[in-house]
Amino acid sequence: MALLKKSKTALPAILAITLIALAIVGFSYAHWYENLWLTGEVKTGNLCARFWGIVTRTDTGKDWTCDEGFNNVRQINKDIGSSNAYFIDTNKDGCNDTLVVELNNVYPCYYEHMAFWIHNCGTIPWKIVRVNFTTPYETKSITKPSYLTLDLNGDKKADIELYWGNNFGQQVDPCGRVDISFDIHVLQPCPENTKLKFTATIIMVNWNE
104 lies in the site for Ca ion, by CB under 5 A: no
Considering the complex, state which of residue 68 and residue 79 has its C-beta at the smaller distance from Ca ion.
79
82 lies in the site for Ca ion, by CB under 5 A: yes
**Minimum CB distance to Ca ion, residue 45 (Å):** 43
Cα distances (angstroms) measured from residue 161 to each of 12, 32, 41, 144: 83, 55, 43, 16
157 lies in the site for Ca ion, by CB under 5 A: yes
CB 129 within 8 A of CB 203: yes
Closest CA to 109 of 69, 157, 149, 146: 69
Considering the complex, state which of residue 50 and residue 157 has its C-beta at the smaller distance from Ca ion.
157
Neighbouring residues of 167: CB distance < 8 A, sequence distance ≥ 6: 128, 178, 179, 180
CB 37 within 8 A of CB 31: no
Q: Which stretch binds Ca ion (CB under 5 A): 36-44, 56-64, 107-115, 168-176?
A: 56-64
**Minimum CB distance to Ca ion, residue 55 (Å):** 15
112 lies in the site for Ca ion, by CB under 5 A: no
CA 156 from centroid of its chain's CA atoms: 28
Strand partners, 177: 119
Contacting residue, 68, 79, 89, 179, with Ca ion by CB under 5 A: 79
**How far is 100 from 117, CA to CA, in rounded Å?**
15
Give the pairing of strands 195-206 and 139-142: unpaired
Output the furthest CA–CA distance in the chain (Å, rounded).
116
**Minimum CB distance to Ca ion, residue 125 (Å):** 39
DSSP state letter for 58: S
Contacting residue, 34, 41, 67, 155, with Ca ion by CB under 5 A: 155
**Minimum CB distance to Ca ion, residue 106 (Å):** 9
Contacting residue, 49, 55, 63, 196, with Ca ion by CB under 5 A: 63
Q: Which stretch binds Ca ion (CB under 5 A): 3-11, 21-29, 60-68, 99-107?
A: 60-68
197 lies in the site for Ca ion, by CB under 5 A: no
Give the pairing of strands 49-57 and 64-65: unpaired
Instruction: Count residues binding Ca ion (CB under 5 A).
Output: 9
Q: Which stretch binds Ca ion (CB under 5 A): 18-26, 27-35, 43-51, 73-81?
A: 73-81
Site residues (vs Ca ion, CB under 5 A): 59, 63, 79, 82, 151, 153, 155, 157, 159
